[in-house]
Structure 1
Amino acid sequence: MTAPAPQVWPTLRATDAPALIRFLVDAFGFEEVAVMADGDTVHHAQLAWPLGGGVMLGSARQSDADRWPLRPGTFGAYVVCDDPDALFTRAVVAGATVGREPEATGYGSRECLLLDPEGNHWSFGTYRGEPRP
């Protein structure tokens, strides 16, 4: 049975969306699926995570008419990965800020915490969640 396409999309805004997209692809391993932009203003971007799911993002707007006024740097996500140690090393080399080095948890996961250049928090780990009933 094939898993359904993602139906929940975490979203974030960025001060420099083109740079954040490059960072998320180069440092963390997201895959660029779509970017709709006018110059440096990203109206919509979709990045896929290799193990499933993904995020959507766009440029922060300085307008009171903004219908999605999320502040850059306020996002946080837990992302499942197979090798948090390798991802951690790759991300640090690419310029990620270390929040917490890889460590074993009491619930059987291995996890690390990294911050992207906008200040968003990304926790990567092996915990895949509890099975659905």
Structure 2
Amino acid sequence: MKYKLINSMIHNFTHSFVGDCNYVDDAFVIEDLYKIARLKKGEVVIITWHPVKTEELFKLTPRVRKAIGYYRDWFPKHAENHRVPLEHLTEYRTEVFMANNHQLCVKAVAIDDRGKEYSCYVRP
């Protein structure tokens, strides 16, 4: 296992989730995430991919929950394609929040089985 592959895997997955290719029920998912983050006024909206945490879903819109379902189904295959065995990840999440300058920020964060944290900002 090459641990350096984790960073590109989480960046690509998060970028796909918040990007223009994630169009569900006649709208882009990032539009809903933007509205939620704006209403939270600086609080972080967290979507945990691994391990799955369903309690986070209740704070999200039906469109975002539907997209998360699709992406959770795809995530193991995506990790496999990047040669990142899921047993080497203890946590992986996407954080969405509004910066002080009112810009939308998206951050991918993962922790490996050695306790090392990987994080990168993703441009939606």
Higher strand share: 1
Tell me which structure has the larger Cα radius of gyration. 1
With the length of structure 1 as denominator, give the TM-score of the two structures: 0.30
Q: Which has the higher contact order (CA 8 A, sep 6+)?
A: 2
Name the TM-score, length of structure 2 as normaliser.
0.31
The structure with the greater share of residues assigned to helix is 2
